[in-house]
A and B are shown apart, each in its own frame.
Chain A
Amino acid sequence: MFFLNHIWLIPLFPAFGAAMMFFFGRRLQKATVSAVCVGVVVLAFLFACFTVVEYTHFAHGTGRPFEKIVYTWLGSGDGHLNFVNRDGRLASFNADAGFLLDPLSCIWLLFVTGVGMVIHIYSVGYMAHEGGYYRFFGYMNLFMFTMLLLILANNYMLLFVGWEGVGLCSYLLIGFYFHRKSASNAASKAFIVNRIGDAGFILGALALSWYLGSFRFIDINAAARSGHFAIGDPVLTIAALLLFVGACGKSAQIPLYVWLPDAMEGPTPVSALIHAATMVTAGVYMVARSNAVFVLAPTAMKTVAIIGALTAVFAASIALVQNDIKRVLAYSTISQLGYMFLALGVGAFAAGVFHVFTHAFFKALLFLGSGSVIHALSGEQDMKFMGDLRRRIPTTYKTMFVGMLAIAGIPGLAGFFSKDEILWQAWSSEGGAYRILWFIGIATALMTAFYMGRLIFLTFFGQPRMSHEIEHHIHESPKSMTVPLVILAICSIFAGYLGLPHSLGGSNRFGKFLEPVFAKEAPVMEAERPAQFAAGEKEEEHTSPVEYGLMGLSVLIGLAGIMWAYSTYARAGKDYIEPICEKAPPLYTVLYNKWFVDEGYDYVFTGRRKIGKIRLGVMGAGEASSWFDANVIDGAVNDVGWVTRAVATLSTWWDKWIIDGLGVNGPAILARMMSYPARLFEWGLVQWYALVMIAGLLGFGVYYVWK
């Protein structure tokens, strides 16, 4: 149990390499840098191999997870939160620095360290003449460290640390040639789009942890499979969808895939490692890890499948007409990731993981091979200026040809088994509900075969279209680059046999190994079994002739695609024209410009575009609503104020002139007016007053006498 108990060493080896580079890298010689950085990854790989072997002894086929908690990172300690979650257990919101090993992470561990090791060896040769050598390897080691943290984490929080870390390393490595504006822009774009996904991820992870009472995967899986939660539970659905948003960002699905093609600005080993084999599979890993939750949210699963299928066909359509060799491979990666999510979405988790596994090998192979081509052509990346390289760089040609056959799904190579499994699952899952997705998948397979064939034939066949100086310098890559290519080619051929399905006589070791992770014994899946039995399509027990038919169909499609590409491109001369460009120029323009999605995002989200003075997109809506608020709403408020003041003025006038004037002063004025004649009697003469008194008295007297 030595290796299992020291599983935390696996991420620490490359972390040590990165730290060495950080502190001492500048002063070291290139040889030392190579030795340290490649050495730590080799150590990590060997350690990982022994660990997995120990794990198989530990688990004895039951697939029980091995957990090693190193220390409590975020803990409620002794002051427990008294939160009782739905199934009555006391919730403890602890996030440990803990490592979990179960069949799923075993697979990821092996191919991440393995392919990582191969690519590090390759980079020694590829980056030999570049500046910033120690920086490159430091970042690569940092990437390996964070990726391993992501894979081995036992809870969502530590996984998120790794998640962010690989995003950071992606930024650092894409922008490796930072003095090139396009590279630094691409790096920023990658990080920002990734971050949008991360927002979804963290919301989903927190919602899930709150709802199920813990961050740890073991607890979450137990809670989800306990049967307390109904299928289609709204909180779980929303949490699953949010997690999928995170996966879209990291694994380049619609709508957050736009960073991946631009990420080709980084050096080719970076594209191979991060954007083909490892980082982009982190999204798939996370969804597979959360499969217990996704299974309880059929809406989320459908969304995953549909978006996966759409992404696959969308990216493949763009790859048909791209000229940069790395762009074609980038869109191919997006498309294949779409396949993986399609598999996860229809419930074929093991098939999706299998495709991740095989894809890592042949995509890394293709990228490294393209790096070798670029190296041979002194930096030329445009396929319009390649051609007739198969005799000049034979090893590269042969290995890339193997890679092309693998991705096209030709039998005998790895891609066939995994892709075919996905298509079969898409056809048969849930009684054929996903047939349309199968159709999209098969169309994508045709396009995949075609564009990969195009890539190979334009690069290696036909007339040489490069400039003469470049042609003179064409040379095969050094051993440090070609040996990894050969290793990956061998893996691309043989890795598939691990998942040889029943229908072809194999035992599907891969699927069996993963079975406990995807919990077929859970009550949820139990409910599906009778339905599947009734429909006669329980895929593990017996194989139907439909499966063979579909298999044959996909083989035919793959061969047809390659043949078609051969007939179109294998004899391409200096001025070859794309057939789509000839026959349907508007379609060509749309595909070549990537369906104008980047421009669309620019218009809608960045707010840089204006029509006259009016800003477009979301920012424009913000400006419009702020205009509305400032002018219309505040204008209304101001108008109300004006009305109030007008009424006040009116009221003042009324008060001053009518009330005071008529009401108050009126009688006064009236009195004064009436006093004028009355005043005439006031002469001030006393004798006159006395006379008037006497007259009055006499009047009274006369009145009484006459009475």
Chain B
Amino acid sequence: MVPITTLHYLVVAAALFVLGVIGVLTRRNVVIVLMSIELILNAVNLNLVAFSRMWGNLHGQVFAIFITVDAAAEAAVGLGILISFFRNKETINVDEIDLLKW
């Protein structure tokens, strides 16, 4: 058995982060994009908790709580934007939100 070091946690967090970024960049559905953003935030949370275990203090965990709160607020706002956008455009396809262009 290989011992599970901090590195493993960091790799997993990085993988989750990359998956989240890809999701933000490539998905058409706005809801999925929002879920991907959550994924990114959670990856960062995992990273912070790993470092907290590594350093032996609770700094990382406290910051993770902050981020979670922040993520919740952001999700609420994001969904609000989504709903408003849907009311205007009748679609949740991100490709069709291109009004701010030349």
Contact status A690-B24, CB under 8 Å: yes
Contact status B102-A687, CB under 8 Å: no
Contact status A687-B33, CB under 8 Å: yes
Judged by DSSP, the binding face of A is: helix
Contact status B25-A682, CB under 8 Å: no
How many chain-A residues does the 8 Å CB contact rule pick out? 11
CB distance from A3 to the nearest CB of B (A): 126
Contact with A along B87-102 (1 / 0, CB 8 A): 0000000110111111
Q: Does A686 contact B (CB under 8 A)?
A: yes
Contact with B along A656-694 (1 / 0, CB 8 A): 000000000000000000000001101111110011001
Chain A residues, Cβ within 8 Å of B25: 687, 690-691, 694
Contact status A682-B101, CB under 8 Å: yes
In the complex formed, the residue of B with least CB distance to A680 is B102
CB distance from A689 to the nearest CB of B (A): 10
Chain A residues, Cβ within 8 Å of B26: 687
A-B contact count (CB 8 A): 29
Docked CA distance A642–B97 (Å): 62
Chain A residues, Cβ within 8 Å of B101: 679, 682-684
Chain B residues, Cβ within 8 Å of A685: 94-95, 97-98
CB distance from A700 to the nearest CB of B (A): 15
Contact status A682-B102, CB under 8 Å: yes
Contact status A687-B24, CB under 8 Å: yes
In the complex formed, the residue of B with least CB distance to A676 is B102
Contact status A682-B94, CB under 8 Å: no
Chain A residues, Cβ within 8 Å of B95: 685
Q: Does B75 contact A (CB under 8 A)?
A: no
Within 8 A of A (CB), among B24-70: 24-26, 33
CB distance from A468 to the nearest CB of B (A): 127
Contact status B21-A686, CB under 8 Å: no
CB contact under 8 A between A686 and B94, given known A691-B25, A694-B25: yes
Contact with B along A610-650 (1 / 0, CB 8 A): 00000000000000000000000000000000000000000
CB contact under 8 A between A679 and B97, given known A687-B24, A687-B33, A694-B21: no
Chain B residues, Cβ within 8 Å of A682: 100-102
Contact status A684-B98, CB under 8 Å: yes
CB distance from A694 to the nearest CB of B (A): 6
Chain A residues, Cβ within 8 Å of B102: 679-680, 682
Contact with A along B1-37 (1 / 0, CB 8 A): 0000000000000000000010011100000010000
In the complex formed, the residue of A with least CB distance to B99 is A684
14 contacts between A and B (CB under 8 A): A679-B101, A679-B102, A683-B101, A684-B97, A684-B99, A684-B100, A684-B101, A685-B98, A686-B94, A687-B24, A687-B25, A687-B33, A690-B24, A694-B25
Give the 4 A-B CB pairs with smallest separation, nearest first.
Answer: A684-B98, A684-B101, A679-B102, A684-B100
Interface residues of A, Cβ cutoff 8 Å to B: 679-680, 682-687, 690-691, 694
Extra pairs beyond A683-B98, A685-B97 (6, CB < 8 Å)? A679-B101, A682-B102, A684-B97, A685-B94, A685-B95, A687-B26
